[in-house]
Amino acid sequence: MILLPAARHLRSVLAVLSALVLAACAGGSDPVAVAPSGPPPEVVAMYQSVQDGNYVIPAVDPGYLTGGNARQTVPYSGPDLPGTIVVDPHARVLYYVEEGGVATRYGIAVGREGRGFTGAAVVSRKAEWPGWTPTANMIRRDPEVYGPYAGGLPGGLDNPLGARALYLYRGGKDTYYRIHGTNNSSTIGRATSAGCIRLFNQDILDLYQRVDLGAPVKVRSLAESIAQEGEMVEGPSGLMLRMDSLPIEVQDQIRAGMTPWPPFVAQSGISGENSLGSAEALEAQGIVAAN
């Protein structure tokens, strides 16, 4: 069964109400059920617990390594040069483009702030176990929620930015668009109520060591996503499915009865074609992460 508009909207509202309200790149926390079937042992092995400095990153539950969530090497025919990070917030995947027509593909979770950015950027800052501080506007708007974090939330296992963060800049200015880890593996592959682009901590460790400062980043628009990935629709588990993998009658039902897809685009009111606004505008809205 595919969620139609009313059901999707209700689920979205419930998710927002129940989410951990750490906005911007602090990431939302929308728990979901573990899938009943698991991945092969070689995939599970990539996501065992990891000792990283003073921290032990927990293993990822194999139930979350379904669909396109697990890291793998795949053929890549896009126009992007080797060394480029390609983020597809609509198909909920991220590619690190390599030589020889291949790329490493990672499953991602996409938060509200990750849905308003398209185009080119560069990685101009990298951080291990990054901290997070709410903006002054966030604290003014919701003092009970953000006030306790006014002094900043230090990096660590409880920090929603996870083990690593890549900070994207455009024209020498911080875009406030982050690619980072997560302390909630259940969100990977899904749309969440807050945050930018997050990966399993094991995956952000892998990506982080591949990427140098100055690395180019391309964030696909909805049209670019369709051209490269095909039409996608959110299934009942919250993961994205190719439209052409569904029976024709189901495809017809979806096209006849739903608002523009992917579902989170319609729910958020974001067209997927707009570039991120200025840092000043985002600060005014209170949707930036200071660290």
Digit-by-digit pLDDT tens for the chain (291 residues) are 334 333 343 333 223 323 333 344 654 444 444 444 578 999 999 999 999 999 999 999 999 998 889 999 999 999 999 999 999 999 999 999 999 999 999 999 998 667 778 899 999 999 999 998 876 776 887 788 778 888 889 999 999 899 999 999 999 999 989 999 999 999 999 988 666 899 999 999 999 999 999 999 999 999 999 999 999 888 878 888 888 888 888 788 777 765 444 444 334 333 333 333 333 333 333 333 445
Active site positions, annotated: 180, 196
User: Using DSSP, how many helices (H) and how many strands (E) does the chain show?
Assistant: 9, 14
Q: What is the residue whose two structure tokens read 């509202």?
A: 13
Count CB atoms within 10 A of the CB of residue 133: 20
Which residues on neighbouring strands pair with residue 110, listed in sequence order?
191, 197
What pLDDT was estimated at residue 68? 87
Going by the DSSP 8-state scheme, the letter that residue 191 receives in this structure is B
All structural domains of the chain with their residue ranges: 5-34+45-285
- CB contact at 8 A, 151 and 132: no
Closest among 254, 252, 219, 208 to 233, alpha carbons compared: 254
What whole-number distance in Å separates Cα of residue 182 and Cα of residue 146? 19
Closest among 177, 201, 179 to 51, alpha carbons compared: 201
What pLDDT was estimated at residue 193? 65
What pLDDT was estimated at residue 114? 72
Topology of domain 5-34+45-285 in CATH is L,D-transpeptidase catalytic domain-like (2.40.440)
Count CB atoms within 10 A of the CB of residue 56: 11
Predicted structure pTM score: 0.77
Residue 277: which region, alpha, beta or left (left: phi > 0; alpha: psi -120 to 50)? beta
What pLDDT was estimated at residue 233? 86
Closest among 130, 219, 114 to 166, alpha carbons compared: 130
